[in-house]
Amino acid sequence: MSQRVLLLREPLRELKYGQSQSVYVADSLDYTQRQAYTIGSGAYELTGRIRFADNPQTLIDLIKAGAATKTIVYYPNLSDPGVSYSCLLIKPIVPTVLKQDPNTGLIFGDQDVEIVLRKTDQTPFQASQQNILLFSFRAGDRIQEATYSRVGTARYASNVGGGGYGRVSTATTNIARLHWMSTKSSAGPRNVPTLLLEGARTNLILQSANLKKTTVWTANTLTITSGQADPSGGSVAFKLLDASTTVIGNLTQTNITIAAATRATLSWFLKAGTGNVKSWVTLRSTNGASTFIRGTVTWSSGIPTFGTSAKGQLIGPADRWSCGFYRQAFRTTGNLTTGKYATVIIPAATAAAAKGSIIAYGPQVEV
What is the predicted pLDDT for the residue at 10? 67
HSE at residue 47, side-chain half, CA atoms within 13 A, is 8
* 8 A C-beta contact, residue 311 and residue 292: yes
User: Could you tell me if 108 and 181 lie in one domain?
Assistant: no
pLDDT band at 267 (very low <50, low <70, confident <90, very high): very high
Window from 15-24, 125-134, 184-193 with minimum mean pLDDT: 125-134
Q: Quick check: 135 pLDDT over 50? A: no
Tell whether 237 and 269 lie within a shared domain: yes
pLDDT above 70 for 288: no
Quick one: 149 and 269 in the same domain? no
Regarding whether 55 and 113 lie in a shared domain, the answer is yes
Q: Is the pLDDT of residue 226 over 50?
A: yes
For residue 316, which amino acid is it? G
- Angstrom distance (rounded) from CA 253 to CA 363: 11
Contact 338, 260 (CB under 8 A): yes
Is 218 in contact with 346 (CB distance < 8 Å)?
Answer: no
pLDDT at 127: 56
Sign of the alpha-carbon dihedral angle for 71, 77, 81, 83: negative
Our measurement of the distance from residue 165's CA atom to the centroid of its chain's CA atoms, rounded to an integer in Å, reads: 9
Residues 169, 157 contacting (CB under 8 angstroms): yes
Mean pLDDT over 144-165 rounds to 75
HSE of 79 in the Cβ direction (CA atoms, 13 Å)?
Answer: 27
Q: Which residue would you say has higher pLDDT here, 167 or 76?
A: 167
Per the structure, the count of domains in the chain is 3
User: pLDDT-based confidence at 358, cuts 50/70/90?
Assistant: very high
Asked if residue 180 and residue 236 are part of one domain, the reply reads: no
How far apart CA 357 and CA 347 sit, in angstroms, is 6
pLDDT band at residue 252 under the 50/70/90 scheme: very high
Question: What backbone torsions phi and psi does residue 67 show, to the nearest 5 degrees?
Answer: -65, -25
In this structure, are 31 and 100 located in the same domain? yes
Do residue 222 and residue 191 come from a single domain?
no
The proportion of the chain whose per-residue pLDDT surpasses 70, expressed as a percent, equals 83
Mean pLDDT of the chain: 82
Quote the pTM value.
0.62
Counting residues of the chain whose pLDDT is more than 90, the rounded percentage is 28
Amino acid at 210: N
Nearest of 289, 330, 333 to residue 311 by alpha carbon: 333
Q: How confident is the model at residue 59 (pLDDT cuts 50, 70, 90)?
A: confident
Measure the CA–CA gap between 151 and 200, rounded to whole angstroms. 9
* pLDDT bracket for residue 132 (50, 70, 90): very low
Answer yes or no: is pLDDT of 298 > 50.
yes
In a domain, 156, yes or no: yes
Strand positions, DSSP E, 259-338: 265-272, 279-285, 291-300, 303-309, 312-314, 319-320, 326-332
Position 219 scores a pLDDT of 93
The confidence score (pLDDT) of residue 130 equals: 41
Q: Specify whether 359 is located in the same domain as 319.
A: yes
pLDDT at 236: 93
362/267 Cα distance (integer angstroms): 8
For residues 190 and 327, give the distance between their C-alpha atoms in angstroms, rounded to a whole number: 14
203 domain-assigned:
no
Q: Are 283 and 352 in contact (CB under 8 A)?
A: no
Q: Is there a single domain that holds both residue 164 and residue 92?
A: no
More confident residue, 209 or 84: 209
Nearest to 103 by CA among 143, 55, 49: 49
Same domain, 189 and 258: no
Same domain flag for 294 and 237: yes
In a domain, 58, yes or no: yes
Residues 241 and 351 in one domain: yes
Could you give phi then psi for residue 276, rounded to 5 degrees? 50, 40
Question: What confidence category does residue 17 fall into, taking pLDDT thresholds of 50, 70 and 90?
Answer: confident
DSSP 3-state of 148: coil
Can you give the CATH number for the domain in which 308 is found?
A: 2.60.120.260
pLDDT digits (tens, 9 = 90+) for 68-121: 888 888 887 666 666 778 889 998 887 777 665 555 555 545 667 888 999 888
Question: What range does the domain containing 334 cover?
Answer: 218-366
Q: Give the Å distances, CA to CA, from 363 to 62, 208, 276.
A: 43, 6, 21
Q: What's the average model confidence in pLDDT over 193-206?
A: 82
